[in-house]
Amino acid sequence: MADCIEKVLKQAEQQLQAVSDLDTGFDTARLDVEVLLATVLKKNRSYFRAFPEVILSDDENEHFQSLLNKRKNGHPIAHITGQREFWSLDLDVNEHTLIPRPDTETLVEFVLENFPQEKLNVADLGTGSGAIALALASEKPQWNILATDQSEQALTIATNNARKNGLSNVTLKQGSWFGPLEQSRFDIIISNPPYIPQQDKHLQQGDVRFEPITALASGEDGLDDIRYLIAHAKEHLLPQGWLILEHGYDQKQAIFDLFKLAGFVNISQKDDYGNNPRLSAGQFCK
């Protein structure tokens, strides 16, 4: 017979300690096992505090142990559950999408704070799970948002996420960077492109190992895609339109210089929640 919830959680937490510690530098083992058990039991995590003595059925225990084994083998929690919350939206994710990061919410916040307009045409290039585009669509139902990605598999996930969150003001198109925009021009072009140097050792560590390399790495210094986006955005921005990019914490000066070189004005930069430089925005002055 299986054990009670608290005992199962404690044992699993001990088994997971090494893996979770390695991945994040923080002890997330307890959180991880609670999220996995919540997935199996289809309950909120607060249920475990209210009913620690409830005995798991054999089926529930077996299902939980199979998810725990995946985590022990290093698979990210978001891939095991197939879910990640972003801006209060429940998003499906899989091995074809980046797992949306909390720091990317800084970008959503920046856009909402600085663009109070009722109607705008916005493009989100490299949308992945649809995180940025769908967060904006949920806050600004009258904005027309085009979300693109070169990965068809990622777009399938993003399309499903739009549907399941009831967001109809997002159009999804497949293609490389500005390709799907054709002749259209936009008030805002946003992107969280790949920006990690291809030799960076972090690409071989933790959860990142299981994410698509095409979502993460961009040439020797991590700036290949950003250089391209900054160089060509003006061909797709309306006069006074804005390009807003997420980037690495150590790329702030390089991005500022690239914006300046390309003739952007009113360049502004913002830190993420951990006080690391995370986004840059520039205005196209025709």
Binding stretches for ligand SAM (CB under 6 A):
98, 100, 104, 125-129, 131-132, 148-151, 154, 176-177, 192-194, 214-215
Angle at 38 between CA 35 and CA 42, to 5 degrees: 145
Which of these, 2, 4, 13, 19, lies nearest to 36 by C-alpha position?
Answer: 13
**Residue 113 C-beta: closest distance to ligand SAM, Å:** 18
- Residue 182 Cβ vs ligand SAM, minimum distance, rounded to whole Å: 14
Q: How far is the CB of 9 from ligand SAM (least distance, A)?
A: 30
Q: In a 3-state reduction of DSSP, which class is residue 281?
A: strand
Please give the Cα distance from 247 to 99 (Å, whole number). Answer: 16
Q: How far is CA 15 from CA 21, 69, 134, in A?
A: 11, 10, 37
Q: Which is nearer to ligand SAM, 165 or 192 (CB)?
A: 192
- Measured CA distances, 202 to 191, 196, 208, 211 (Å): 22, 9, 7, 12
User: CB-based burial of residue 183 (10 Å sphere; 0-12 exposed, 13-18 middle, 19+ buried)?
Assistant: exposed
Q: CB neighbours of 151 closer than 8 A, spacing ≥ 6?
A: 96, 97, 128, 174, 212, 214, 215
Using CB atoms within 10 A of its CB, is residue 267 exposed (0-12), middle (13-18) or buried (19+)?
Answer: middle
The helix (H) or strand (E) run that includes residue 283 is strand 277-284
Closer residue to ligand SAM, CB minimum distance, 130 or 241: 130
For the bound state, the minimum distance from the C-beta of residue 281 to ligand SAM, rounded and expressed in Å, comes to 16
The nearest distance, CB 225 to ligand SAM, in angstroms, is: 6
Q: Least distance in Å: CB of 57 to ligand SAM?
A: 36
d(C-alpha 156, C-alpha 33), whole Å: 29
Shortest distance in whole angstroms from residue 148 CB to ligand SAM? 6
| Least distance (Å) between residue 112 CB and ligand SAM | 16
Q: Which is nearer to ligand SAM, 41 or 96 (CB)?
A: 96
- The answer to whether the CB of 260 falls within 8 A of the CB of 206 is no
**% helix / strand / coil in the chain, to the nearest 5?**
45, 20, 35
